[in-house]
Chains A and B, each alone.
Chain A
Amino acid sequence: MLQRKIPLAMVFVFGVISTLQYFVPHPLSQQYYDTMLKWMIGVGSMAIFLALVSFLRHHYVRLRKKEHAPYSAVAILSFLFMTLVGFIGGMGPGSVFQKMFYYVQAPLQATMFSLLSYYMASASYRAFRAKSFEATLLLITAFIVMFSVTTFGNYVPGVPKALEWIMAVPNMASKRGIAIGVSLGSIATSLKIILGVERNWLGG
Chain B
Amino acid sequence: MRDFLIKLASLNRTTIYLIITIGVLLPLVVPLNLGQKMSPPTERLYTFIDTLPKGSHILLSADYDPSTLPELQPMLEAIVKHAVLRGVIPIVMSLYPQGTGLGIQACEKARLELGARPDTDYVILGYKPGFSAVILGIGEDIRKIFPTNYSGIPLDSIPAMRGVKNYNDIALVVSFSGGSTPFAWVTYANTKYGQKIASGITAVSAADFYPYLQTGQFIGALMGMKGAAEYEYQVNKLLEKEGFKKAKSVFAVRGMEANSIAHFLIMLFIVVGNIGYFLTKKRREA
Contacts and interface: CB of A to CB of B under 8 A. Distances in A.
A129 B270 CA distance: 8
B213 A121 contact: no
A172 B37 CA distance: 27
A172 B210 contact: yes
A124 B260 contact: no
B277 A129 contact: yes
Contacts of B244: none
Interface stretch (A35-43, A50-58, A81-89, A145-153): A145-153
Interface stretch (A19-27, A154-162, A190-198): A154-162
A154 B37 contact: yes
Contacts of A131: 277
Interface stretch (B9-17, B57-65, B163-171, B194-202): B9-17
Contacts of B224: 149
Contacts of A130: 274, 277-278
A168 B214 contact: yes
Interface in B69-96: none
B266 interface: yes
Interface size class for chain A? Answer: 20 to 34
Interface string B103-138: 000000000000000000000000000000000000
B47 to A, nearest CB: 15
B211 to A, nearest CB: 5
Contact of A150 (B17, B260, B274, B277): B260
A171 B16 contact: no
B30 interface: no
Q: What is the predominant secondary structure among interface residues of chain B facing chain A?
A: helix
A120 B35 CA distance: 26
B48 interface: no
A117 interface: yes
**Which of B20, B37, B265, B266 has the largest number of chain A CB atoms within 10 A?**
B266
Contacts of B36: 151, 154
A107 to B, nearest CB: 13
A152 B260 contact: yes
Interface string B249-286: 00000001101101111110110111001100000000
A118 B17 contact: yes
Contacts of B274: 128-130, 139
Given A150-B259, A150-B260, A168-B211, A122 B16 contact: yes
B270 A124 contact: yes
B160 interface: no
A147 B35 CA distance: 16
Interface in B3-59: 11, 13, 16-17, 20, 24, 34-40
Given A125-B273, A168-B210, A171-B207, A161 B16 contact: no
B229 interface: yes
Nearest to A148: B39
Contacts of A120: 266
Q: Which 9 A-B pairs have the closest CB atoms?
A: A167-B210, A125-B269, A168-B210, A154-B37, A150-B260, A151-B260, A168-B211, A150-B263, A129-B277
12 contacts: A121-B17, A122-B17, A129-B273, A130-B274, A130-B278, A131-B277, A143-B267, A149-B203, A150-B260, A151-B37, A152-B34, A154-B36
Given A129-B277, A139-B270, A143-B267, 13 more contacts: A121-B266, A125-B272, A130-B277, A131-B277, A151-B226, A151-B257, A151-B260, A152-B34, A154-B39, A160-B39, A164-B214, A168-B214, A171-B207
Interface of B: 11, 13, 16-17, 20, 24, 34-40, 203, 207, 210-211, 213-214, 224, 226, 229-230, 256-257, 259-260, 262-267, 269-270, 272-274, 277-278
